[in-house]
Structure formats: C-alpha cells, structure tokens
C-alpha cells in the first residue's frame, strides 16, 4: 500500500479567514498536518521595522482558535510560518500570546516549540567581515554602516530548524521568518518524502486557494504527498485545481521559471509535469531539490529613514492635467528653496503612471481626472507636517499658464487635508548569508502550555 502525507492549508495568510465548512471538510479527510503561512515582505518594510502585524489580532485569533482546537482533537501538529507578518521576535511573541490566550479559554494543553529568526548586528557584521554576505539581486553591496543602521534583521529559516522542533514532540510549532513552503514540507521531509516534491507542494499550499480556480486567499485546500508525486484538491466545491492554475501559481513570485532558490538549495522545476484528475484535482510530479554549497539563508533588514505626512486630492482641470509634471516640479523646487527642506517631496499621480511609473507603456493617454497623493518624508514629523502643508497650499493656489479660475486647483478628499503617518522604514538588507549549520542560527524555545 502506498503511503501518503496529507496537509491541510486553511488560508493564504493567518488572519485572512476561511469558511468553516471548507475547514471541517478538510478535517474529515484526516490530515497529518495543518500548516499556515502568517507573513510576507509584500506589505513592505514598515511592519518589520515597527514590530507590528499587518493582520488584525481579532482575525488571527479567530483563525488560530479553529486550528488549535482541531489539531488538539485530532492529535496532529500545527505549524505556523513567519509569525505576526514579518517573523521577528515582537511578531513571534505577539502570536504566542494569542495562542496562550486561546489555550486558557479552551482548556487546551500542549507542547509548543517557538523558533526565533532574529539576527543580531554583531553576528551580521562578523559574517560580513568573513565574506559570508552577498547581495541578492537587485540589492546593492553594503558595508558596516548599513548593518549598523538596521532596526531589525531576520533570516529566512529552512526545514532543518522545524524538523529539530518536531523531534522534541512539540505539537504546535511557531516559527519566526520562514521560507514559505517549509511549514507544509518539513514534517514530510522528516519522514523521508522527496524534498523537491514536498517543497513544491508547500509552495502552492502556502497560498491556499489562491492557486485554485477561481482563486481565493481565504479558503481551504488539501495537498496529498506520495512517493513520486503530489495531488492538490480544493475543499470548496466552488473551486477546482486545474493544470493551468497550478502551473501558473508555480511561477508565482519567481524571476526564473525553472529554478526557485531557497534556504540550502534550489527547487528545480525543469522536469515538473502537471496532470488533470477527476473531481477538480491536479497531480504534479518531476520536481527536484538540488542542495547548494555553502548553505545560504536570505537576510531581510530595515532601517528608519524619517517620518511621513501625506495629503490626498483630486485634479479635474484639463489645463492643469496637461501641464501637471511641470507644475509639480516648479512647486517642489519652490517649497524646497523657501523652507530649506532636504527631505523627500513625492507626488503620486493616479491616472498618470502612478502604478508603473517610468515603465508604463500607455504614455499617450491623458485622463480627464487625476488622483494626487502628496507625500513628504523628513527627519522629524513636525518638519514633514510643515512641508506638506506648504506643498499643499502652494499647489492649491499655483497660477499655472492658461488657468481659467483664480483658485480651486485641488479637490481634497478629507478634512483635515493633511495626515501624519509616523515612522518610515526602508529595506536596506536583502542579502544572502552563508552559514555552516542551518539549525544554530535559529534558537528553539520549548514551552508546556496549559490553561
């Protein structure tokens, strides 16, 4: 009889939610593991820098409540990757507190392993001096100065730290920054399944039903791993896995269609094949994992670059729209000269290349209205507030050529028109670091949780 390993993926990101009916259907199929990805760099550097989650506490608690209860009743593990959105210690601790709160309320007892992914500046500096840190395209070369400026640095762990945590008998494993497929793949790799197939299945499961058709980030799917292939199925009858949706998601977030680098190696997809099965399922086979030497992990770090203030307005005058780039440049130079401002003044012109910028192919089209976001970044919040107010008022009353009215260049969406947004962070470390031991960088804390 062929052995199999079943993994239930409830949602694309912990806190995105999922239908209870889909989840219960998955539980009825007796999974060996429930795994969920909880984070990403997609929402930008602010959340790593601030230590805050980009998902709400109430939503995360709702999802975890259902998962923890199901895992406890079925005596199967729950693995959470990139806790709290960015996977640094504040995010991990935040998620751990929610788990403990649920355990008290539900009367649950279990062993939990908490795996941290934070990298200290001293360790990063030492690695740099030893020549073990290199840029990951398109990041530039960096020196000691950038590392010292970093507010927080995390490393993306591979399967090895999770496997070590499983060896302790922990039923709940809470990971810091983690390679997205790892929570779904690590237990199967521990049991001797092919790591290429396990990681490829994990890559798809980490986004749950986004890879199904029609896609959704808030629905449940099941992956079943066999010796030489895996099968994907939706747990909602409204969705199916097709060869197209599965292959398309295999290309998701990749610059190379055939090779997907990760901690300790590369997922080689040159021989991957996709086959339709009955009942809206898809079979995948041929994926391979190629180990790399030395073993490398990705570092993610952010630095604080100032404070932001914004103002949102609309422009309807065709004369102003026609000359908008020149008008904005004149206003920017005037304000910088008048106020001696050395920070950033940025204009985001929605309706005129705001999304694609210089890469926008539709350069000849001229919208009848423009949504404008005025953004100012300065070393201090009060300075950003003052400069944004000056930009706003200068632009509001600017007497550009061919203007028909004497005022009213801008239509403001809100009152007050200016909004102080607080600290601004920027990714300054996006580099690979070579390590000798894939486990030692990621300390594990074992906790006995009880009501």
pLDDT band at residue 7 under the 50/70/90 scheme = very high
Tell me how far apart the alpha carbons of residues 221 and 210 are, in angstroms, rounded to a whole number.
10
CB-hemisphere CA count at 13 Å for 112?
25
Q: Tokens standing for 438?
A: 């894939």
> Which one has a higher pLDDT value, 255 or 430?
430
pLDDT digits (tens, 9 = 90+) for 185-195: 999 999 999 99
Q: Give me the pLDDT at residue 366, please.
A: 83
Q: Give me the pLDDT at residue 341, please.
A: 86
Tell me how far apart the alpha carbons of residues 62 and 75 are, in angstroms, rounded to a whole number.
20
Predicted confidence (pLDDT) at residue 1 exceeds the cutoff of 60: no
Give the end-to-end CA distance of the chain in Å, rounded to a whole number.
41
Tell me how far apart the alpha carbons of residues 81 and 181 are, in angstroms, rounded to a whole number.
9
pLDDT digits (tens, 9 = 90+) for 370-405: 999 999 999 999 999 999 999 999 999 999 988 887
Q: Alpha-carbon torsion 209, 215, 218, 219, what sign?
A: negative
Query: Which helix (H) or strand (E) covers residue 91, if one does?
Result: helix 89-106
Predicted confidence (pLDDT) at residue 407 exceeds the cutoff of 80: no
Cβ contacts of residue 314 below 8 Å, gap of 6+?
369, 370, 371, 372, 410, 411, 412, 413
pLDDT band at residue 137 under the 50/70/90 scheme = confident
Tell me how far apart the alpha carbons of residues 175 and 184 are, in angstroms, rounded to a whole number.
12
Tell me how far apart the alpha carbons of residues 122 and 143 are, in angstroms, rounded to a whole number.
13
Q: Give me the pLDDT at residue 299, please.
A: 98
Q: Give me the pLDDT at residue 303, please.
A: 98
Beta carbons within 10 angstroms of residue 53's beta carbon: 24
Tell me how far apart the alpha carbons of residues 86 and 97 are, in angstroms, rounded to a whole number.
16
Average pLDDT, the chain: 95
Domains and CATH numbers, the chain: 5-117+156-294+436-449 (no CATH), 304-427 (3.30.70.1130)
Q: Give me the pLDDT at residue 342, please.
A: 84
Q: Give me the pLDDT at residue 129, please.
A: 97
């Amino acid at each position: 009889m062929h052995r199999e390993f079943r993994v239930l993926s409830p949602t694309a990101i912990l806190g995105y939610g999922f239908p209870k009916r889909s989840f219960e259907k998955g539980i009825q199929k007796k999974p060996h593991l429930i795994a969920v990805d909880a984070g990403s760099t997609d929402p930008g550097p602010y959340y790593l820098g601030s230590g805050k989650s980009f998902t709400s506490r109430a939503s995360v608690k709702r999802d975890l409540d259902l998962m923890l209860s199901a895992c406890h009743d079925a005596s199967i593990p729950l693995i959470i990757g990139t806790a709290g959105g960015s996977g640094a210690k504040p995010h991990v601790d935040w998620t751990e507190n929610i788990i403990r709160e649920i355990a008290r309320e539900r009367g649950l007892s279990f062993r939990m392993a908490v795996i941290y992914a934070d990298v200290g500046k001293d360790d990063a500096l030492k690695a740099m001096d030893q020549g073990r840190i290199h840029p990951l395209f398109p990041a530039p070369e960096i020196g000691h100065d950038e590392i010292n400026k970093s507010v927080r640095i995390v490393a993306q762990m591979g399967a090895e730290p999770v496997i070590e945590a499983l060896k302790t008998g922990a039923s709940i494993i809470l990971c810091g920054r983690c390679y997205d497929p790892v929570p779904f793949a690590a237990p199967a790799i521990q049991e001797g399944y092919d790591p290429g197939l396990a990681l490829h299945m994990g890559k798809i499961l980490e986004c749950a039903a986004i890879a199904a058709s029609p896609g959704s980030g808030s629905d449940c799917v099941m992956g079943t791993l066999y010796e030489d292939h895996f099968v994907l199925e939706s747990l909602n009858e409204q969705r199916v896995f097709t060869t197209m949706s599965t292959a398309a998601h295999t290309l998701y977030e990749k610059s190379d269609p055939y090779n997907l680098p990760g901690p300790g190696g590369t997922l080689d997809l040159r021989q991957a094949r996709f086959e339709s099965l009955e009942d809206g399922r898809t079979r995948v086979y041929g994926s391979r994992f190629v180990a790399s030497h030395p073993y490398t992990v990705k570092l993610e770090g952010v630095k604080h670059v100032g404070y932001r203030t914004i103002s949102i307005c609309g422009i309807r005058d065709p004369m102003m729209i026609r000359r908008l780039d020149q008008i904005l440049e004149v206003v920017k130079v005037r304000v910088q000269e008048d106020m001696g401002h050395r920070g950033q003044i940025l204009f985001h012109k929605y309706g005129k290349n705001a999304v694609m910028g210089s890469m926008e192919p539709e350069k000849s089209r001229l919208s009848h209205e423009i949504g404008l976001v005025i953004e100012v970044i300065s070393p201090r919040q009060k300075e950003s507030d003052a400069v944004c107010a000056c930009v706003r008022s200068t632009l509001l009353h600017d007497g550009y050529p061919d203007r028909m009215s004497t005022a009213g260049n801008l239509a403001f969406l809100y009152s007050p028109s200016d909004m102080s947004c607080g600290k601004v962070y920027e990714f300054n470390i996006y580099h690979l670091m070579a390590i000798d031991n894939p486990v030692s960088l990621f300390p594990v804390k074992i906790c006995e949780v009880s009501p």
